[in-house]
Amino acid sequence: MQDSDYTAFPNGEKRPRVHVIGNGPSNGLFDVENEYRVACNIPQHKIKYNCLAIIDLVVVNWMSDNNWNPKVPVLCTTKVKDHSVKRKREGHWFDVFEIKQRYSAGHHAVEHHASMTDELHLWGMDSIWTDDYASQMDNLVPRGKRPNLNQQWIPHWQTIFANFLNTQFIIHTPQDALLPDLGVNVQQYTHSD
């Protein structure tokens, strides 16, 4: 089933908190129950999630090759939604993302949900404080060598955060993480080992 309209929160209501969970190793810090959660691509963690953010066709190819259909709504670009039809993937696919050069699924998920909450938490977004772009999904969908994406990803984060000054962004990190300057409405929450 393919869908045209997606509303995470009916009647324009806001959630007090939204959690976007990336595929970096620090997503193991996640420790929240019963709040709205967005996962990215094909999560390999055990965290329950309410929807997926997918922007790469190779993710849909993996789903098709492995006969896997998402059981939650998928937020994606029109190109990904059309590809899901072509590859006969079932589920609810919503083309709510515009294609943006060098945006990750995490960027799209955060930007899409930022206006829907007063507090948005980012988990497993290790590339914000490291040059490690490995994803827990890489063993399913191998990727070639990546350039230093932070030269583009960090400025994209700064722009997203600046565009939603009424939203408090909280980035969850291990103790040794040093965040770049991301804006006045961005806070680091350090978890002890």
pLDDT of the residue at 192: 87
Number of domains in the chain: 1
3-class SS of residue 105: helix
pLDDT in tens, 109-126: 999 999 999 999 999 999
Residue 8 counted as domain residue:
no
Residue 1 counted as domain residue:
no
Backbone φ/ψ region at 192: left (φ over 0), alpha (ψ -120 to 50), beta:
beta
Residue 6 counted as domain residue:
no
pLDDT in tens, 28-41: 999 998 899 999 99
Residue 4 counted as domain residue:
no
Stretch 71-93: mean pLDDT: 96
pLDDT of the residue at 2: 47
pLDDT grade for 13, boundaries at 50, 70 and 90: confident
3-class SS of residue 52: strand
**Does position 56 have pLDDT exceeding 70, yes or no?**
yes
Stretch 22-26: mean pLDDT: 92
pLDDT of the residue at 149: 64
Q: How is the chain split among helix, strand and coil, in percent rounded to 5?
A: 30, 20, 50
pLDDT of the residue at 1: 41
Is the CB of residue 167 less than 8 Å from the CB of residue 115? yes
pLDDT of the residue at 166: 96
Q: Determine the structural domain holding residue 127 and report its residue range.
A: 16-191
Looking at the whole model, is its pTM more than 0.85?
yes
Residues 6+ apart with CB under 8 A from 27: 21, 45, 47, 123, 124, 136
Residue 20 counted as domain residue:
yes
Residue 69 counted as domain residue:
yes
